[in-house]
């Protein structure tokens, strides 16, 4: 999701040998529903000759990079926007002349994985990469504003038609969790004009410090020695998340007036508290479950033999949800991989009989459908007309990503007015 080079996404030499990551420092400024993130990563070339390294990082669909710079052997290089062919030519010219340079580009067919080729890192030389990006934050059902710093670049399934050469995520070597040679330092500052109630995380945090008496600014840090072997998730609870807020961003110093970065910008945030049930709609709506049955779902949850497989964990959750549905609703269950199927040709009414039958069939499901093709089952679900007066909700159970992310997002967005 972000600009990190972790144990599953990092800096590689042209021979695919990892360049040791020495330290990671992340500073986050959260203002309302927007996070401004600065990630600084330090590497050292322990080879006996200069190397061309590749820095790989995932970026959330709601994030945008606005600055990237590198410090190599005392030389500071700042990224500038160029046409693709011109950028590639300038990079190749710099390499041939023995100069330090880097090339930042998006992985083909995706919008959320970026690579940076960094050339001529001298023997014993250190490289410091600093990336800045802004990201829109989502809100949880309980009103928490959620920020996530992922530790890994998730593997992607690539359909056969687009599998030539593989993706960046397939080429990045995996490093065992226990072998991580570094820790993460992270500090988050949060600002809200209506006050900050609290902050929570599954990771160990130092005590929350309020920077103002009215609790409109607060700061928190990860506890010292955090091993970056799992995602860092921060849940921020404002005093009133539904109040309208505005943020004024000054123009960048030195930028030309009238340019994108030169002029100030105003961000107005509206997050109204809208009832989930509309007039004339039944609380007992339509529930559709889409279960990933690709081969990777057969892997255990934490790669330990004593843990349940992903498919088993998903099935247990699905059965729990089936037992919790309201009487009188309608439901259906789809399974997908390289192909897809469904328990029923169309959604059926939820009764004691259909619940028992469905639970038994779910228990028999296996991860035997091949790859991870989510677009086709999505289209099949959307081709089914919505039931009058019954809001449709779609639940997805999956462990990975796909290469045609943009197409899947576009398909969901196309039907966003008719389902949740």
Helix (H) or strand (E) holding 310: helix 310-324
Candidate ranges 75-89, 178-192, 339-353; pick with highest mean pLDDT: 339-353
Q: What is the mean pLDDT of residues 202-211?
A: 91
pLDDT in tens, 259-316: 877 888 888 888 888 766 555 555 678 999 999 999 888 888 666 667 788 999 999 9
Q: What stretches of 63-128 show up as alpha helix (H) in DSSP?
A: 84-96
Do 11 and 142 contact (CB within 8 A), yes or no? Answer: no
Q: Tell me the domains of the chain and their CATH numbers.
A: 11-238 (2.60.40.1730), 286-414 (3.40.50.410)
20: tokens are 């040791």
pLDDT in tens, 401-419: 787 888 888 999 999 888 8
With a CB cutoff of 8 Å and minimum separation 6, the contacts of 29 are 35, 36, 37, 188, 189, 191
Tell whether the model's pLDDT for residue 16 goes beyond 50: no
- Predicted confidence band at 184 (pLDDT cuts at 50, 70, 90)? confident
pLDDT in tens, 19-32: 556 778 899 999 99
Neighbours of 283 (CB within 10 A): 11
Residue 414, Cα to own-chain centre: how many angstroms? 21
- Predicted confidence band at 89 (pLDDT cuts at 50, 70, 90)? confident
CA distance 186 to 59: 18
Contacts from 322-325 at CB under 8 Å and sequence distance 24+? 322/355, 322/358, 322/359, 322/362, 323/355, 323/359, 325/287, 325/350, 325/355
């Amino acid at each position: 999701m972000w600009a990190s080079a972790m144990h599953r996404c990092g800096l590689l030499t042209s021979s695919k040998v990892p360049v040791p990551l020495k330290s990671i420092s992340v500073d986050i400024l959260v203002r309302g529903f927007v996070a401004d993130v600065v990630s600084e990563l330090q590497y050292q070339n322990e080879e006996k000759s200069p190397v061309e390294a590749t820095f790989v990082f995932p970026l959330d669909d709601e994030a945008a990079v606005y600055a990237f710079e590198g410090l190599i052997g005392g030389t500071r290089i700042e990224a500038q926007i160029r046409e693709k062919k011109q950028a590639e030519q300038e990079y190749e010219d710099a390499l041939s002349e023995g100069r330090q340079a880097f090339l930042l580009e998006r992985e083909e067919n995706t919008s959320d994985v970026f690579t940076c080729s960094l050339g001529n890192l001298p023997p014993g030389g250190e490289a410091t990469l600093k990336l800045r990006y802004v990201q829109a934050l989502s809100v949880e059902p309980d009103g928490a504003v959620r920020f996530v710093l992922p530790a890994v670049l998730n593997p992607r399934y690539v359909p056969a038609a687009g599998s030539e050469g593989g993706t960046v995520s397939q080429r990045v070597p995996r490093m065992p969790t226990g072998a991580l040679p570094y820790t993460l330092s992270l500090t988050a500052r949060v600002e809200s004009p209506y006050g900050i109630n609290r902050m929570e995380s599954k990771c160990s945090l130092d005590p929350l410090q309020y920077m103002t008496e009215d609790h409109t600014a607060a700061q928190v840090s990860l506890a010292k020695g955090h091993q970056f072997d799992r995602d860092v998730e921060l849940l921020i609870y404002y005093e009133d998340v539904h109040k309208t807020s505005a943020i004024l961003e000054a123009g960048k110093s030195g930028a030309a007036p009238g340019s994108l970065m030169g002029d100030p910008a105003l961000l107005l945030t509206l997050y109204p508290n809208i009832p989930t049930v509309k007039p004339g709609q039944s609380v007992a709506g339509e529930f559709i479950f889409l279960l990933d049955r690709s081969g990777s779902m057969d892997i255990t949850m934490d790669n330990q033999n004593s843990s349940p497989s992903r498919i088993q964990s998903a099935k247990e959750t699905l059965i729990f949800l089936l037992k919790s549905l309201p009487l009188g609703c309608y439901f259906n269950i789809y399974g997908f991989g390289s192909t897809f199927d469904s328990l029923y040709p169309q959604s059926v009414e939820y009764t004691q009989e259909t619940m028992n039958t469905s639970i038994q069939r779910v228990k028999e499901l296996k991860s035997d459908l091949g790859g991870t093709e989510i677009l086709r089952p999505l289209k099949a679900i959307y081709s089914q007309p919505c039931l009058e007066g019954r809001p449709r909700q779609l639940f997805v159970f999956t462990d990975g990503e796909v290469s045609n992310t943009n197409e899947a997002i576009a398909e969901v967005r196309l039907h966003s007015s008719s389902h949740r």
